[in-house]
Structure 1
Amino acid sequence: MLSLIEISRRRLQFGLIASIFALIAYLILMINGLGAGLNELAGSALLNMDADAIAYSENAGLSVIRSELSQAMVDAVGPATGARATAPLAYVAATYRLEGKQPDSVALLGYDPGTIAEPPVTAGRALTAADTRGALADKTFLDQTGLKIGVTVTVNQRLEQVQLTIVGEIDEGAFFFQPAVYILRPTLLDLKYGATDPASRPVASIVLVQGPERSGVLGEIEVVDKQTAFANIEGVSGQSATVRSLQVFGFLIGTMVIGVFFYVLTLQKEGQIGMLKAVGASNRYVMQQLLLQVGTIAVLGMLVAIPLAVLTERSLKSGSAVVPVSLSAELIAVTTVLLLVTSIVGALFSMRKVLAVDPIIALGRQQ
């Protein structure tokens, strides 16, 4: 193929183009990975919950922080939604402090053992009703802090304090940009509300719902699917809009750079294109060769960008200050396909010039 022969003979020129494409692809991969990582940090624990929908108090505006449910409201969720199963879940943000380090925050989630709110344990053991001072900590949290199963941690919430012993490890992610730690619901309520009369205080923040037949505003509760609940986590909508804007600009820049480079190359090869047409090459054949060159350059660029992005992700996650970057195989595949498509679109800017080349005029200019 003429296009591949030209690439092999002009390695430096096409190598520079491939390098620039690789840098753009690397930037876009890191932006996409950062967006995915921030989403995981915002509420992967919510998305991993064994539920199809989430029930809030009707006046909470789909905010877990503002949602407070009484026992009567929790009991009403099942009949109101026609669900197969429901389970109350309480939430509070608390702080902990490790020796020699600054205080940090953690998302405490209170559940009842044996319900759909109970997270699967990957190491250690599950909580029982007797574990009023037990906790299940997320794997990432344990890795980052160096804590192990069996260690006791002091947790503070306002003026209340409790000693929690880690008895099991889970892989549920984060909640509200904080590591998720599951404890028994009564323990959490005591920590959150202190000496408040148990009969008058809320018993849950939300209710997990499996198989609801009805959703929306149902009396004093509002039921939405998990994706809607995730989108309403404070800060997620603005964060997602920012990341999407960066992604769009990245793809546009990539398209324009490839388009400009190959348009300039087309101008430089006007005489060669004219000669090809003079010996019988069609416009279609010339465009095929151009697109093959673009595709080859894009593939070479991605072969450099993908390993570089993966290595960067690993190095960022291994540092003391972990950066939330997540590059899944699906994300890499989708980004690669989109970059290949945008590079082809960019090359189409040269189509008009190729079609306009007159072989006689082009050859005359070479004399």
Structure 2
Amino acid sequence: MFLAWNEMKSAKLRFLLIIGVLTLMSYLVFLLSGLANGLAELNREAVDQWRADAIVLSDESNINLPQSSMTIQAAQNISAKNKAQIAQVLLVARKRGTKIKESVAITGIQKDQFLMPKVSEGRAFNRINEVVADDSLKADGLKIGDKLNISSSDQKLIIVGFTKKAKFNAAPVLYTTLSTVQNIKYGNGNISRKGLINGVVLRDPNFANLKVASKLKLTPIESFIENMPGYTPQKISLDFMIYFLFVIVSVTIGIFLYVLTIQKVSIFGVMKAQGISSGFLIRSVIAQTFLLALFGVFVGFVLTTITGLFLPAAVPIQLNIPVLAVYGMIFIFVATLGSLFSVQTIVKIDPVKTIGG
């Protein structure tokens, strides 16, 4: 470590450039991690707020809430004690008298069940066509009292409150009554379909013991989230980019250190002639790589944190410190692993040939 540190102090510019490259790479890894977490959160944050264990959907829905359909009678026959009925439709809402449009997930629930969100501003809905909206809609100019026109429907909604963290599959949620969603989907006059909902959400750790009808499917909430359209492919793609960056880091640092080792062959030869072992020199190179990676990761983490503070709210980034810490350790490990490219070169150095003997 002493030799590694002293060499870094004597050739500051050379090693600062290497630290700079490692900083940029770690910065990119951390930003991609934050983006992956942020995009995942956009898809699932409303579901996370339910604090549910499972959901019951129709067997033919492909674990997709808007595509599911069941009768209220079938929902009532589910034997779980803590359950909540839910109906949902994905449409476009437009603020009346303006061109402000937003794709929304209009979600019907019962006010006295656990799906009812905590209202952060305004009040809860009390009547048909009143909604509690995700507070991200305020950034689009919507406020309490605004009236919304709904695409493909003659229903008019009015915002009476806002709630935090209510996005479903990246769409802001409008919580309202079951009757409101049924009127939007089927119209006021279609009495025969008013008894239909989309699913039943369960808050029961022992849900696996429940029996449901043959036309229904009981799904753990995590599996439900993973089957949201685009959720898993998007997450896998971003995670793959991060893992591939780790490979690039290992190769890059290996090339840098190999070149540096070649440049120092004569110095290493003299040191070997003085009795310094190959093992000592190898440990010095590994220690040097560890220090370089440590500095690079630290600066990259600081830059990522500062960037996260100044990015606009529209950028879906969420920095998870434990995850970043793990990625930082992996980054340091693969960078140190890259230093092993130089081991064979150090071992093969012949001190006699180096000093011209």
**TM (normalized to structure 2)?**
0.90
In structure 2, the partner of 1:208 is 201
Q: 1:103 to 1:363 in 2, by over 3 A?
A: same
Q: Is the 8 A contact 1:215 1:222 kept in 2?
A: no
**Cα offset, 1:332, TM superposition:** 1.9
In structure 2, the partner of 1:191 is 184
**1:133 aligned to which of 129, 132, 135:** 129
**2:83 aligned to which of 46, 71, 86:** 86
**1:259 aligned to which of 251, 254, 276:** 254
Is 2:3 aligned against 1:2? yes
**Cα offset, 1:280, TM superposition:** 3.2
**Cα offset, 1:191, TM superposition:** 1.7
Alpha-carbon distance in structure 1 between the residues aligned to 2:334 and 2:211: 40
In structure 1, the partner of 2:312 is 317
Question: Structure 1 stretch 250-259 or stretch 96-105: which is displaced more?
Answer: 96-105
- SS of the counterpart of 2:70? coil
**Cα offset, 1:30, TM superposition:** 1.9
Q: Over residues 148-190 of structure 1, what are the superposed CA-to-partner deviations in whole Å (9 max), with x where a residue is unaligned?
A: 4x332314041233131232x3223411221122112222221
Q: 1:102 to 1:274 in 2, by over 3 A?
A: same
**Cα offset, 1:20, TM superposition:** 1.0
Q: What letter matches 1:58 in structure 2? A: D
Unaligned runs of 5+ in 1: none
**Cα offset, 1:218, TM superposition:** 4.8
**Cα offset, 1:102, TM superposition:** 4.3
In structure 2, the partner of 1:48 is 49
Q: 1:225 to 1:250 in 2, by over 3 A?
A: same
Q: 1:281 to 1:138 in 2, by over 3 A?
A: farther
Is 2:108 aligned against 1:114? no
Show the 5 A alignment for 1:341-352.
341-352=333-344
**Cα offset, 1:306, TM superposition:** 2.0
Q: 1:196 to 1:251 in 2, by over 3 A?
A: farther
**Cα offset, 1:52, TM superposition:** 0.4
In structure 2, the partner of 1:180 is 173
Alpha-carbon distance in structure 2 between the residues aligned to 1:310 and 1:141: 26
Q: 1:357 to 1:151 in 2, by over 3 A?
A: farther
Q: Is the 8 A contact 2:250 2:335 kept in 1?
A: yes
- SS of the counterpart of 2:193? coil
Show the 5 A alignment for 1:301-316.
301-316=296-311
**Cα offset, 1:216, TM superposition:** 8.9
Unaligned runs of 5+ in 2: none
Is 2:280 aligned against 1:279? no
Q: What letter matches 2:312 in structure 1? A: K
Q: Is the 8 A contact 2:129 2:155 kept in 1?
A: no
Q: Is the 8 A contact 2:250 2:337 kept in 1?
A: yes
Q: What letter matches 1:34 in structure 2? A: L
- SS of the counterpart of 1:117? coil
Q: Over residues 79-109 of structure 1, what are the superposed CA-to-partner deviations in whole Å (9 max), with x where a residue is unaligned?
A: 2xxx341111111112223465442211121
Q: What letter matches 1:166 in structure 2? A: V
Q: Is the 8 A contact 1:155 1:164 kept in 2?
A: no
Aligned residues: 353
In structure 2, the partner of 1:337 is 329
In structure 2, the partner of 1:233 is 228
- SS of the counterpart of 1:41? helix
Q: 1:190 to 1:282 in 2, by over 3 A?
A: same
Q: Over residues 336-358 of structure 1, what are the superposed CA-to-partner deviations in whole Å (9 max), with x where a residue is unaligned?
A: 12211111111122222223223
Q: 1:278 to 1:141 in 2, by over 3 A?
A: farther
In structure 1, the partner of 2:320 is 328
**Cα offset, 1:56, TM superposition:** 0.8
Q: 1:329 to 1:31 in 2, by over 3 A?
A: same
In structure 1, the partner of 2:32 is 31
Q: 1:135 to 1:341 in 2, by over 3 A?
A: same
Q: 1:330 to 1:171 in 2, by over 3 A?
A: farther
**Cα offset, 1:217, TM superposition:** 7.3
Q: What letter matches 1:190 in structure 2? A: N
Q: Is the 8 A contact 1:58 1:217 kept in 2?
A: no
Alpha-carbon distance in structure 1 between the residues aligned to 2:264 and 2:50: 59
Q: 1:122 to 1:277 in 2, by over 3 A?
A: farther
Q: What letter matches 1:154 in structure 2? A: L
Q: Is the 8 A contact 1:40 1:173 kept in 2?
A: no
Is 2:290 aligned against 1:295? yes
Q: Is the 8 A contact 1:94 1:155 kept in 2?
A: no
**2:159 aligned to which of 151, 154, 165:** 165
RMSD (CA atoms): 2.3
Question: Structure 1 stretch 344-353 or stretch 198-207: which is displaced more?
Answer: 198-207
Q: Is the 8 A contact 1:51 1:208 kept in 2?
A: yes
Q: Is the 8 A contact 1:68 1:202 kept in 2?
A: no
- SS of the counterpart of 1:258? helix
